Amino acid sequence: MKQVIAIIGRPNVGKSTLFNRLSEKHKAIVIDEPGATRDRNYADCTWYDKEFILIDTGGFEPVSTEKILIQMREQTALAMEEADIIIFLMDGRDGLTPSDKEITNILRQIKKPVFFAVNKIDGLKHENLAYEFYQLGIETLYPLSAQHGGGMYELMDDVAKCLPGTDETDQTPEERLRIAVIDTAGIRRKSRITRVLEKYSIVQALKAVNRCDIALLLIDAEEGMTEQDAKIAGLIIERGTACILVINKWDVIEKDNASVGNYVKDIKDKVKFMDYAPIIFVSALTGQRVLRIFDIIETVYQQYTKRVPTSDLNRVVREIIESRPPPRHQNKANPFSFMTQASVAPPTFIFFVREPKAVHFSYQRFLTNRIREAFGFDQVPIRMIFRNKHR
């Protein structure tokens, strides 16, 4: 299971710079102005063999009365609550501030690993800037330069010791079956108290998706597929998690055969790349069709963990390719030499081909659909990887 690491601290201490360096993705806003990062950014990261979700938060001013800083304080508090590990970043050039002391007092009450880092220590000439922060009574401080990378290894090597390993080979599929119910309507109801919570729900959903094999995406029949539902669906697709779309409150909807078809079409139009996901209409209130969810879960999980013999895969794929050869590359044929299934959950297939980059997306889609039909993967995501064939 991936754990969540949140980077917190006052505005303009370099949190986004640290986030970008660790994630190697320039998703966060890096502007030398307090309040530039108002929302959280998140990314899947790896430190050697340890995987985790990294969150970059807005600045945290515990005693501020400014509206923007109050919002930042709220989202940072949520990050601290949801995170498994916290990196508290301070600014060496600003020196120790009253806000740093206040945040430290708050962190002392949290029973989670907290790492105290002093940023903008750019080389030997700035080393003395970190000494002042020992007044906080912290045994271990991590001087670093998020911009230049100094001190990163010392910090992250110690952070990684708090992360679980990624080896789960000693677990059987039955022991690893995990199901998450993602109720975005419930999240929106809570967001009426604070809109920050709705935005932060993406991170909550991300944690759930990363920790499950099958996600039950609960959709309010009266509201239909909302923007928030579509965002969560996108996270599920990105991570290759199996999904069942559960349409709740179906008992209160006036319907006929045509309306049901239109409803399904509308959902599939909004999540085009999840057209494989089974849809079930239920009423949690009356219990209508709720128990049928377990039958669908069983079918989906069987497909999700199914393995195709290599000989069968090669035979069928060759027949598929003969019926519709791949597009030529630079006026030459682009033959496939060998196919194999690399893993399950999700089913992942590797195709060895002369020029992988020349396999157009439309042809990849064609192969995906035909493999679904041939081997019974019609209700789960599958991944296709194209590599250079051995010469």
* pLDDT score recorded for residue 33: 41
* CATH code, 310-388: 3.30.300.20
Alpha carbon of residue 305 to chain centroid: 21
Tokens of 142: 């991590």
* pLDDT score recorded for residue 310: 93
* pLDDT score recorded for residue 126: 79
Concatenating the DSSP letter of every residue in 17-56 gives HHHHHHH-S--S---SSTTS--S-EEEEEEETTEEEEEEE
Q: Which run of H or E residues covers position 112? A: none
Please state whether the predicted TM-score (pTM) of the whole model is above 0.75. Answer: no
* pLDDT score recorded for residue 66: 63
The domain 3-160 belongs to what CATH superfamily?
Answer: P-loop containing nucleotide triphosphate hydrolases (3.40.50.300)
Domain with CATH 3.40.50.300 in the chain: 3-160, 173-304
Reduced to 3 states (helix: H, G, I; strand: E, B; else coil), residue 169 is coil
Q: Per residue in 291-339, pLDDT tens?
A: 999 999 999 999 999 999 999 999 999 999 999 999 898 889 988 988 9
DSSP 280: E
* pLDDT score recorded for residue 209: 81
Of 322, 305, 306, nearest in space to 314 by CA: 322
Residue 292 contacts by C-beta under 8 Å, 6 or more apart in sequence? 280, 282
Domain with CATH 3.30.300.20 in the chain: 310-388
Please answer whether residues 89 and 68 qualify as being in contact, where contact means their C-beta atoms are separated by less than 8 angstroms: no
* pLDDT score recorded for residue 158: 94
Thinking of the domain 173-304, which architecture would CATH place it in?
3-Layer(aba) Sandwich (3.40)
Concatenating the DSSP letter of every residue in 180-202 gives EEEEHHHHHHHHTT-HHHHHHHH
- Looking at this protein, which amino acid is placed at residue 377? F
Please answer whether residues 117 and 141 qualify as being in contact, where contact means their C-beta atoms are separated by less than 8 angstroms: yes
Within the chain, which residues score under 70 in pLDDT? 1, 25-40, 58-76, 78-79, 165-176, 184-204, 257, 389-391
What is the spatial distance between Cα 23 and Cα 28, in angstroms, rounded to a whole number?
10
Reduced to 3 states (helix: H, G, I; strand: E, B; else coil), residue 145 is coil
Strands 3-8 and 50-56, bridge-based pairing: parallel
Q: Per residue in 77-116, pLDDT tens?
A: 766 777 899 999 999 999 999 888 988 888 888 889 999 9
> What spatial distance separates the first Cα and last Cα of the chain, rounded to whole Å?
38
Please answer whether residues 289 and 296 qualify as being in contact, where contact means their C-beta atoms are separated by less than 8 angstroms: no
Backbone angles phi, psi at 53, to 5 degrees: -100, 130
* pLDDT score recorded for residue 67: 60
Residue 384 contacts by C-beta under 8 Å, 6 or more apart in sequence? 348, 349, 351, 364, 367, 368
DSSP 390: P
List beta partners, residue 247: 219, 281
Q: How many residues does the chain have?
A: 391
* pLDDT score recorded for residue 171: 46
- Looking at this protein, which amino acid is placed at residue 371? I
Cα torsion angle, 185, 191, 195, 196, sign: negative
Please answer whether residues 213 and 345 qualify as being in contact, where contact means their C-beta atoms are separated by less than 8 angstroms: yes
Reduced to 3 states (helix: H, G, I; strand: E, B; else coil), residue 115 is strand
Helix axes of 195-210 and 227-238: crossing angle, nearest 10 degrees: 30
Question: How many C-beta neighbours within 10 Å does residue 138 have?
Answer: 16
For the chain, give me the number of helices (H) and strands (E)? 12, 13
